[in-house]
Structure 1
Amino acid sequence: MIEDAQELRETMVSFRHDLHRQPEVGLQLPRTQEKVLEALQGLPLEISTGESTTSVTAVLRGGAKAEKSSTILLRADMDALPVVERTGVDFASQNGAMHACGHDMHTAALVGAAQLLSQHRNQLAGDVVLMFQPGEEGWNGARVMLDEGVLEASGKPVDYAYAMHVMSNRVPSGMFVSRKGTIMSASHHLNVTVIGKGGHGSAPDAARDPIVATAEMITSLQTAVTREFDIFDPVVITVGVIHGGVARNVIPDSAGFEATVRCFTPAAAARLEAVIPRVLQGVAMARGVEVDIDFHNEYPPTVNNADEVEFSL
């Protein structure tokens, strides 16, 4: 099987580069879906596409007989990010988006797995469900596919699910890593708007500066991470967007920021829901401004089954 995989290498690299040149964002990925369907054409698969998205689900029926068989799901995400690529590689994006998180590689890997497993289907005692998911980058594409029945695509519930994610740092190239239990954090969304009173930059005492309050809120949240949470149950708050003001000598009426908040346990998530509003409202009261807080859960943590981790490694 390893030798067969090596024979697919150049084809899959070329396929990945093709995906990379034309990335798509969100739940609707028509070009990507078309390329995946074309790559799967001719394989002994039962293929269906999403009802409300451009997802692709394919079922491979194993040909080996066994007293007990399992249904295994293999998953890859297909969408890109709305960022401009400046890598300079000869297969760089041509449309202003970018596969900056490696989903082109994920998709190519699953297409390669489909081709490889199809060659060896007579050795499989059970079925394989191939899940090509759009909308991973904040669009909840997995939930859409779950609601449309991907876990029952083979006619019975999936027994186990496997997925991989490439990393560009921390882990040496070519190394596979995993762990039992929680491996990826939950993700929460934080959007904060600070409402003050505008004025001229020469007379801040006649205004209520929302930018100063916003800056203090950001630093106060970072202090809360180190003083309100157990170091052995870590929390990360990263502010990725700050907005406010149109001129350097004008105090605006409002400002704000957006952040991603991550944690690993329900206890930390519950504490975040209490700590974040308290910290932000406390700063707002001290600075004489108002604050509007939108904090909600996006995705739960990824928790690996211990037996499956042991089996895969």
Structure 2
Amino acid sequence: MTGPTDLPSLPDARLAGLLAEARELHPKTVELRRAIHRYPEEGLHLPETLAKIEAALEGLPLETTAGKGSTALTAVLRGGRPGPAVLLRADMDALPLHEETGLGFASTVPESMHACGHDAHVAMLVSAAHLLSAHAGELAGSVVFMFQPGEEGYHGARHMIHEGVLDAAGEQVERAFALHVYANLPSGVITTRPGPFLASADRFSVRVTGKGGHGSAPHQAIDPVPAAAAMVGALQTMITRRVSVFEPAVVSVARIAAGTTSNIIPEVAELEGTIRTLSERTRALVREELPKVCEAIGQAHGCRVLADVEPGYPVTVNDPAEAARVLALAGDALGEEHAEPMLDPLMSAEDFSYVLQRVPGAMAFLGACPPGTGPADAAAIHSNRVLFDEDALDHGVAMHAAFALDALR
């Protein structure tokens, strides 16, 4: 497979050799992944995870910088000749889940688990640093390795950007790449697409205040429950009537709460949910319309309404040329059967979107469906039963290396 005519790639034989080199690193890749998996940490402060990464990078010709407001780590590999900088990223944090995989290296921390594969992301990037260090003389420029905490809702990428990760090599990063393991894809397959790759994610909350009373006399109260229930349906109608059918948008009410017992009309009802869109224009429209709908319904029911939208991650948008480059490199480095164009974006979200707002680049999924299970039947990411094929990690290591070597050839 070759890329567009304006994006020449390295010779096929050289790229194909990267996978063999990645396989030589496989034992160390798996060892680090499992060590991190056993002791998951959440949020922006991951001291044990950071210590494991630093130990695994020891001895490599890297310039490292620790985060100021978090346990982020930035490492820079200088090439044999001057040139631009390219960034490779791995997120590090876990999720608040009780693991039920039955793995021999399952989490030892109660109610905490690497259910999104970030342990694999770290292990792949560390091995890519080893592989690329062996090829440093061939690089015309620098590689910035971005080990990022706080992806799961803590805006870790934004913190690292504010602290200078995009300028860590002494000049602005020109290209960026990230991989995310995915259990519902065939193992070893790389898939991505140009343009929107993942959705934005905003959180909304609505507090509906009426007047409490006895359940036998609702006419003497102002019941917030029917008002809140009407909002649930009206928000779906809002999407179909205010947003173009050609502009995807999702509004999901994920939590509704009111009352304490069966014979008391409560004073307050609450709604919480998520907004997902694939363009900033649609995102702005939904964020503007949602409070209007809820406030109007509340007024009709005689209730006071406080509707709030908390901004989350923006749309993850791949640069078309870089997405095409990733697929071309996957075909050359892993074999054409391991490069698969992604037809539709997913409505999940990622804070690598902050990097792609500033730097041309791409994010891709790495299939890691566990052996003996079909992709459609595998437990998905964020499940406490999710499993990943560790043989797929070699493909990820090779892809990181291929992206950097091609960008800095």
TM-score under structure 1 normalisation? 0.92
Q: Which residue of structure 2 lines up, in the alignment, with residue 70 of structure 1?
A: 84
Q: Which residue of the partner structure matches residue 301 of structure 2?
A: 287
2: CA distance, partners of 1:215 / 1:85: 35
Residue 185 of structure 1 is matched in structure 2 by: 199
| Aligned residue type for 2:310 | H
SS in 1 for 2:25: helix
The answer to whether 1:237 aligns with 2:254 is no
Contact 2:125 2:145 in 1 (8 A): yes
- Aligned residue number for residue 156 of structure 1: 171
> Which residue of structure 2 lines up, in the alignment, with residue 87 of structure 1?
101
The more displaced of 197-206 and 256-265 is 197-206
Residue in structure 1 matched with residue 30 of structure 2 by the alignment = 13
Corresponding residue for residue 389 of structure 2: none
Alignment of 1:112 with 2:127, yes or no, is yes
C-alpha separation between the residues in 1 aligned to 2:33 and 2:168? Answer: 26
**Aligned equivalent of 1:253, options 267, 286, 289:** 267
Is 1:23 paired with 2:40? yes
Q: State the alpha-carbon separation in 2 of the partners of residues 249 and 14 from structure 1.
A: 58
2:190 is paired with a residue whose SS is coil
Q: Deviations over 1:223-282 (max 9, x none)?
A: 222232112110011233333323233332212122121112232122113321121112
Q: CA deviation at 1:128?
A: 0.2
**Partner Cα distance (1:266, 1:133) in 2:** 25
Q: CA deviation at 1:158?
A: 0.6
Tell me by how many angstroms 1:218 deviates: 1.9
**Alignment root-mean-square deviation, CA:** 1.8
- Contact 2:203 / 2:309 at 8 angstroms: preserved in 1? yes
- Structure having greater relative contact order (Cα 8 Å, sep ≥ 6): 2
Runs (5+) with no aligned partner, structure 1: none
The one-letter code sitting in structure 2 at the alignment partner of 1:48 is T
Could you say what secondary structure the match of 1:283 adopts? helix
The amino acid that maps onto 1:238 is S
3-state secondary structure, aligned to 2:115: coil
When residues 29 and 243 of structure 1 are mapped into structure 2, their CA distance, relative to the original with a 3 A threshold, is farther
Question: What is the distance in 1 between the residues matched to 2:166 and 2:130?
Answer: 21
**Aligned partners of 1:22, 1:240: CA distance in 2, in Å?**
30
Give the whole-Å Cα distance in 2 for the aligned partners of 1:138 and 1:16.
22
**Does structure 1 residue 103 correspond to structure 2 residue 118?**
yes
Supply the AA of the counterpart residue of 1:154: A
Checking the alignment, whether the CA contact within 8 Å between 2:84 and 2:171 is kept in structure 1 is no
DSSP-derived class of the 1:165 partner: strand
Unaligned runs of 5+ in 2: 1-17, 328-409
Matched residue, 2:351: none
One-letter amino acid of the structure 2 residue matched with residue 32 of structure 1 = T
Counterpart residue type for residue 63 of structure 2:
E
Match of 2:141 among 116, 123, 126: 126
Normalised to the residue count of structure 2, the TM-score between the two structures is 0.72
Write the distance in 2 (CA, Å) between the matches of 1:47 and 1:203.
Answer: 68
Alignment-mate amino acid for residue 211 of structure 1: V
1:146 correspondence with 2:182:
no
Structure 2 equivalent of residue 214 of structure 1: 228
1:205–1:167 CA distance, 2 compared to 1 (3 A): farther
In structure 2, do the counterparts of structure 1 residues 208 and 13 end up closer, same or farther at CA, with 3 Å as the change threshold? farther
Which deviates more, 220-229 or 31-40?
220-229
1:128 partner letter: V
Residue 278 of structure 1 corresponds to which residue in structure 2?
A: 292
Deviation at 1:209, TM superposition (A): 2.4
Provide the rounded CA distance (Å) in 2 between the counterparts of 1:173 and 1:201.
57
Equivalences, count = 309
Opposite residue 270 of structure 2, the aligned amino acid is G
The amino acid that maps onto 2:23 is Q
Offset of 1:132 from its aligned partner? Answer: 0.7
Residue in 1 that maps onto 2:317: 303
Q: What SS does structure 2 have at the residue aligned with 1:113?
A: helix
Q: 2:64 aligns with which of 47, 51, 73?
A: 47
Match status 1:168 vs 2:186: no
Structure 2 residue corresponding to 1:3, chosen from 2, 8, 20: 20
Identity over aligned pairs, percent: 48
Q: Secondary structure at the match of 2:191?
A: coil
Q: Which amino acid aligns with 2:284?
A: A
- The 2-side partners of 1:40 and 1:199 are apart by 64
- 1:35 corresponds in structure 2 to 52
Task: Please state how far the C-alpha of 1:52 moved relative to its aligned partner.
Answer: 1.0
Name the SS for the 1:197 alignment partner: coil
